[in-house]
Amino acid sequence: MTAIDPLRDYDIFDLGFVRDPFATMDEIRESGCPIAHSDRWGGSWFPTRYDDVVAMAQEHDLFTSREIIVVPPADPSNEGPYADVAAPPITSDPPEHHWHRRLILPFFSPQSVATFEQGTRDLCNRLIDGFIESGEADAAADYAQQIPVRVIATMLGVPTDMSDTFTGWVRGVLETGLTNPEVRLEARLNILRYFEAQLADRKANPREDDLITTLLHAEVDGERVPDSYVIGVCNLMLVAGVDTTWSAIGASLWHLAQHPEHCRQLVDDPDLWGSAIEELLRAYAPVTMARIVDRDIEFQGCPMHAGDRVLMSFPAANRDPRQFENPDEVILDRERNRHVAFGAGIHRCAGSNLARLELRVALQTWLSRIPEFRLADPDSVTWAGGQVRGPRQCKVTF
């Protein structure tokens, strides 16, 4: 038993919560007060019921995206020339949100992301080639972690051999930097400086079929979009497209390592993949976003004030028994699954089609080559949590 009272003092960075957040979420959800509050880490509200989380996601004028990180940022005056660079459209509110999002959506339509399928499959096979003979691997570090960063780099048109550097920056923003504003700021500035140089290079040497070049030439109401927008989009794609998908791939492999019957089902019945991917996303939704309350309001009996932070816990929503039968059970052919792993409303994850493709291809390729595998030592698995939850070390044998 923990000494922490989850209703009044939850701590999303507590190691026990990171390892297993679901017991705490259940306790809050089934209490008389399903929206908890804690003063830790700058203070936040923590809705745990599906209907509340979805309603808050859809009420974007009340629960704004001025800040989306779960802990308050460092003093913006430390950011110098980059203070106005955000991560559009995830950090945008209407009316700008509309064009911030509309310009990038075509890159992430199902038709567009399908062009990355074969390259992703080849990448997964190369990674497996590197460890299959040894009979063991770290499914998180050697495999899951290596995939999305290279896919995103390819999409952005930047060198994939920078992958380890990109991964370090992303972890600086979303993992170690979450509780350490100085680390977060340094990582953020590294990302923004890098993409500012990429923009300068594209301006001098425009490239065909290149996302950054396309955005640099985009116009809204007859005017070129500002560089700060393009740098911000690149920032978003890196920060939001790497840790998240890698966490989903890793958590799914962690699950499959303990459920050989699910591995067999997926190998025997390829038609299962569509619903299976959705179910794994539901059960192991990696992402918790934040919202800032726009004005004083009472929401479901909670006295919220302008500027309060709300944790949009999509993982908690996805385990609500009011919405999902047997929510803690992974049912690969689940019939009704309105999961919100990608959020809901106008901020639905713009990269969701790409994330799904990467998750499916990563798991399909793994199972085609390694149909039977198990955790080497369940106690040695380590997890990251807070904003993005997933395994960081997950040794398996086969």
List contacts with another protein (CB under 8 A). Answer: 54, 58, 102, 105-106, 108-111, 274-275, 277-278, 335-340, 342, 344-346, 348, 352-353, 356
Task: Return the sign of the alpha-carbon dihedral for residues 17, 382, 121, 213.
Answer: positive
Question: Smallest distance from the beta carbon of 89 to another protein, in angstroms?
Answer: 12
Min dist CB 275 to another protein, Å, is 8
| Shortest distance in whole angstroms from residue 325 CB to another protein | 12
Smallest gap from Cβ 341 to another protein, in A, equals: 9
Give, for 45, the enclosing helix (H) or strand (E): strand 44-47
**Nearer Cβ to another protein (105/200):** 105
Residue 216 beta carbon to another protein: minimum distance, rounded to whole angstroms: 20
How far from 187 is each of 149, 183, 190, 228, CA to CA, in Å?
16, 6, 5, 17
Angle at which helices 163-174 and 227-257 cross, to 10°: 90
Angstrom distance (rounded) from CA 234 to CA 211: 9
Calpha distance 49→318 (Å, rounded): 9
Measured between alpha carbons, how far is 332 from 252 in angstroms, rounded to an integer? 12
List, in sequence order, every beta strand (DSSP E) within 134-287: 136-138, 219-220, 223-224
How far, in Å, CA of 34 to CA of 280, rounded?
A: 24
Please name which of 283, 297, 291 lies closest in space to residue 311, comparing C-alpha atoms.
Answer: 291
Residues 86/93, Cβ–Cβ less than 8 Å: no
Are 82 and 189 in contact by the 8 Å Cβ rule? The answer is: yes
Least Å distance between CB 109 and another protein?
Answer: 4
Segments in 35-106 forming alpha helices (H): 50-58, 96-102
* Cβ closest to another protein, residue 33 vs residue 346: 346
Cα–Cα distance measured from residue 200 to residue 152, given in angstroms and rounded to the nearest whole number: 20
- Shortest distance, CB of residue 86 to another protein, whole angstroms? 20
Q: How far is the CB of 332 from another protein (least distance, A)?
A: 13
Shorter beta-carbon distance to another protein: residue 265 or 337: 337
For another protein, the closer CB: 125 or 265: 265
Nearer to another protein, 98 or 203 (CB): 98
Q: Which residue lies nearer to another protein by CB, 248 or 381?
A: 248
CA distance 190 to 203: 20
* Of 191 and 237, CB closest to another protein: 237
Q: Which residue lies nearer to another protein by CB, 324 or 398? A: 324
When the beta carbons of 288 and 353 are compared against another protein, the nearer one is: 353
CA distances from 168 to 188, 191, 205, 281, 332 (A): 11, 10, 28, 25, 34
* Smallest distance from another protein to CB 73, Å: 27
Q: 186 in helix, strand or coil?
A: helix
